[in-house]
Amino acid sequence: MEKLRVELGERSYEVLIDRGNIPLIGERLLRFSIGKKVALISNPKIFELYGEKVTSSLKKEGFDPYVVLIPDGELYKDYFWAYHIITRLLESGFDRKSCLIALGGGVIGDITGFVASIYMRGIPYIQIPTTLLAQVDSSVGGKTAVNHPLGKNMIGSFWQPSLVWIDVDTLDTLPEREFISGLAEVIKYGIIWDNEFFELLDKNKEKILRKEKEILIQIIKRACEIKAEVVSKDERESSLRAILNYGHTIGHAIETLTGYSSYLHGEAISIGMVYEAKLSSILGFLDRESLERIKNILKNFGLPINLPLNMDFSAMIKTILLDKKNIEGKLRMVFPEAIGKMKINFEISEEDLKKVLNE
């Protein structure tokens, strides 16, 4: 089992990565000071695949699992379904010693963490991410949120999990499009932090796309290491952690304006990374060769790199101006100066933004 630790003082926790370890989750939970009531939050598709393994493991170790399912998809990561989960927990007598388990992708992880952060002013939760995107990104770092029609992740909180339990065998049942979408976030870590990791990904494209377990464990661990290092230095995004948002300013706007239904998260972030890299090039920070490397690696892994032809650019700019990273009405972004080096919270003008979006 591969292990790494997110160092946050009393809020520190482990990220454990292995094959076939989902049935061992109950045994692991015995190490935590939690009550016997455990809520498993999932969606019908994932629960059908892995729900029985998790609940059987919990029962075997004396836990009392209670299942709450919400529909599958980003559309359902909202305050209505968060309220639904809270209602179910209250009806079933969950208290401050109870624990939630998020079994699923980023939607399930985000909404479960958000509910855990506000239920009775905060209870423990465990992440069991079943998608590549969730394994390398949303399950680690403690950002929790639900969406608002005017913007993605606008209602949220920082609430760290007690454990992240990754079973790479879950990627065997992940649809190809979702797997490739998750690779966008993996590639992001190379761009923002580690040129050698970027090159490793580029050189091992075929092995990665074949889902060879050895390379998958290697890249998942490295991605989580990078995120853990960044989060440990800046938990609440006062400075450094902002680099994790690379591609997300434009990417989130794409998701919002297409109703969270046309693009998977990683697909939108892929486009966002390309256009934010173009912006860096226009501003004179990123050289043309590095820009082409970013575009090519995303394209070669099967990710989109162009904005949709029918995109309303005025609406897009309006949405971007609502981004959480903006301060006092000033548009701030992160973008690469080189592969492995980022410029943080740089203030840009609407004119520069219009120029890159219309390129």
pLDDT tens per residue across all 359 residues of the chain: 999 999 999 999 999 999 999 999 999 999 999 999 999 999 999 999 999 999 999 999 999 999 999 999 999 999 999 999 999 999 999 999 999 999 999 999 999 999 999 999 999 999 999 999 999 999 999 999 999 988 889 999 999 999 999 999 999 999 999 999 999 999 999 999 999 999 999 999 999 999 999 999 999 999 999 999 999 999 998 889 999 999 999 999 999 999 888 999 999 999 999 999 999 999 999 999 999 999 999 999 999 999 988 888 899 998 998 877 777 777 888 999 999 999 987 888 889 998 898 87
Rg (CA), the chain: 20
Cβ neighbours, 10 Å, residue 117: 19
The reply to whether the predicted model has a pTM over 0.85 is yes
* Residues 6+ positions from 125 with CB-CB distance below 8 Å: 99, 100, 101, 102, 112, 113, 116, 159, 161, 162
CATH 1.20.1090.10 location in the chain: 188-357
Domain spanning 188-357, CATH architecture: Up-down Bundle (1.20)
Alpha-helical (H) ranges within 234-332 are 248-257, 265-282, 288-300, 313-320
Residue 356 in contact with residue 275, Cβ under 8 Å? yes
Q: How many helices (H) and strands (E) does the chain have?
A: 15, 11
**Which CA distances in Å does 189 have to 54, 118, 223, 225, 305?**
30, 30, 6, 10, 17
Query: Would you list which residues are annotated within the binding site?
Result: 72-77, 106-110, 130-131, 143, 152, 170-173, 185, 248, 265
Q: Which two tokens stand for residue 42?
A: 């999932």
Query: Would you list which residues are annotated within the binding site for NAD(+)?
Result: 72-77, 106-110, 130-131, 143, 152, 170-173
Q: Which residue has the tokens 């992740």?
A: 153
Pairwise CA distance, residues 224 & 4, whole Å: 8
Q: Which residues are known to be catalytic?
A: 121, 143, 185, 227, 237, 241, 245, 248, 252, 265
Residue 88 in contact with residue 111, Cβ under 8 Å? no
Report the top-level CATH class of 2-173. alpha beta
SS3 335: strand
Residue 276 in contact with residue 331, Cβ under 8 Å? no
CATH 3.40.50.1970 location in the chain: 2-173
